[in-house]
Amino acid sequence: MPGPLDGITVVDLTRALAGPHATMMMADLGARVIKVESPDGGDDTRGWGPPFVGDADERQSTYFLSCNRNKESITVDLKSDDGAETLRRLIRNADVLVENFRPGALDRLGFRPEAVEELNPRTVILSISGFGHDGPEGGRAGYDQIAQGESGLMSLTGSGPDDPQRVGVPIGDLLAGMYGAYGVLAALLEREHTGRGQVVRTSLLASLVGVHAFQGTRWTVAGETGAAQGNHHPSIAPYGLFRCADGAVQIAVGSEGLWSRFAAFAGLDPEDQAFASNAARVGNHARLVAAIEAHFAAHKAEDLLTAMKAAGIPAGKVRTIDEVYAWDQTRSQGLAVGVEHPTLGPIELPGPPLRFFDHAGVETTKRDHEAPPLLGQHRASVMQWLGQTVTV
């Protein structure tokens, strides 16, 4: 199936991760995404590694491969007259323009929103920045590591309050891309009524504050400042990672009914006043963890997981990345896809997280995916489409 965004054309001026992740999401949904790269090396992530794969003279960054599937690549010097003309033609033929330059950079190239509107009033512009496009720090460069700290996320992540940790993937970049794609889809839907595009803006800061969830209202409403406390939930207990005889298991007891079931399983008295309610269990967390781990100490992880599954208690293991991609459940959800790369041959990539079905239950998800492009791989075909002569 072509995908729900079939017929939508996206001009992708982005590099690194937030913007490319947003445009890859649109490409996964069937949009035509034309990635515009600098002739001088292209997207920065083409050089981010190791690991690199392939022959030395054609080596590919696995970082770049992670966020650029289903795209076409052309090389354009946007500071040149020819490059500016190419971008003007792209905008006239596109539905969406995506950029993640520092605020003001695209304006200086002559492509302010008003200029884009003049070229094509139906264009939806997605603009992703580090800390927002205005405000006292709107011009700051945006890097995920910095944004994770500035947004408060690192203060909530780690073994304790004195051990702030970044999330193991660039979560600010990824979330900004996701929010950006979500905003574009909303703007395209509104365009069906108004006939006009608009500017959608988000930032790494906005995306990370946007997922504060209960930690946000914990402060804004209750006046409590959350802090990192390792692998246990601050408001639900027992909910976290618990040691056992040969490792650890995770459990999630999210209701009083589950607590009664789990308490019987773990040899605990569900009527013990120290554990009789979720609030009491959170207040006596250290004692609760000690009691659970004392019971688990005599049991192996697989045995515990099997027994808890039989008892209807939500539980799981901590898998390594290689285990995740070998897991039949991951495979069953289409979360690994095979593509044919121009120089690497057959490779496997993480797959799109969305699936689509008709009302009869027949899957209509886009199945055929294209490998991330070589630098400038589609220059000739895109220029021909634009009616331009290809220059060396």
CATH of the domain at 100: 3.40.50.10540
- Count of the separate structural domains present in the chain: 2
Instruction: Provide the sign of the torsion angle of the four alpha carbons 306, 310, 311, 314, taken in this order.
Output: positive
SS3 209: helix
Q: Are residues 152 and 298 in the same domain?
A: no
Residue 311 in domain:
yes
- Indicate whether 54 and 177 sit together in one domain: yes
* Confidence at residue 270, expressed as pLDDT on a 0 to 100 scale: 76
Q: Can you give 23-61 as a three-state secondary structure string?
A: HHHHHHCCCEEEEEECCCCCCHHHHCCCCEECCHHHCEE
| Sign of the torsion angle spanned by Cα atoms 178, 203, 109, 60 | negative
pLDDT value of position 173: 98
What integer pLDDT is reported at residue 389 of this predicted model?
A: 75
Instruction: Tell whether 50 is covered by a domain.
Output: yes
Residues 6+ apart with CB under 8 A from 48: 61, 63, 64
Secondary structure of residue 343 in the 3-state scheme = coil
Q: Which of 260, 290, 316 is the last residue of a domain?
A: 316
Provide the residue type at 180 as one letter.
G
Domain termination residue (choose one: 316, 348, 364): 316
194 and 307, same structural domain?
Answer: no
Active centre residues (catalytic): 173
Helix (H), strand (E) at residue 127: strand 124-129
Out of 316, 344, 372, a domain closes at 316
* Residue 257 lies inside a defined structural domain of this protein: yes
How confident is the model at residue 391, as a pLDDT?
61
Of 266, 307, 306, 265, nearest in space to 288 by CA: 266
Do 76 and 179 fall into the same domain? yes
Whether residue 222 is contained in a domain is answered as no
The model's pTM is 0.94
Number of other residues whose CB lies within 10 A of the CB of residue 370: 14
pLDDT of residue 203: 98
Same domain, 362 and 311: no
Residue 321 in domain: no
166 and 251 part of one domain: no
Q: Is residue 3 part of a domain?
A: no
Residues 173 and 145: their CA atoms lie apart, in Å, by 10
**Is the separation of the CB atoms in 144 and 115 below 8 Å?**
no
- 356 within 8 A of 364, measured Cβ to Cβ: yes
Residue 287 lies in a domain: yes
Domain that holds residue 165: 9-211+332-386
126 and 80 in a common domain: yes
Domain of 262, CATH number, reads: 3.30.1540.10
Task: Note whether 164 and 189 are same-domain residues.
Answer: yes
d(CA 18, CA 14): 8
Does 140 map to a domain?
A: yes
| Whether 41 and 93 share a structural domain | yes
Q: Are 25 and 87 members of one domain?
A: yes
- Cβ burial, residue 190 (10 Å; 0-12/13-18/19+): middle
Q: Are residues 150 and 292 in the same domain?
A: no
Give, in order, the Cα–Cα distances in Å from 90 to each of 21, 73, 157.
20, 13, 43
* 357 three-state secondary structure: strand
Residues of the chain with pLDDT under 50: none
In tens, the pLDDT along 229-280 reads: 999 999 999 999 999 999 999 999 999 999 999 999 999 987 799 999 999 9
Judge if 144 and 276 occupy the same domain.
no
Q: How far apart are CA 263 and CA 253, in angstroms?
A: 10
Where b means 16+ CB within 10 Å and e means fewer, 158-170 reads beeeeebebeeeb
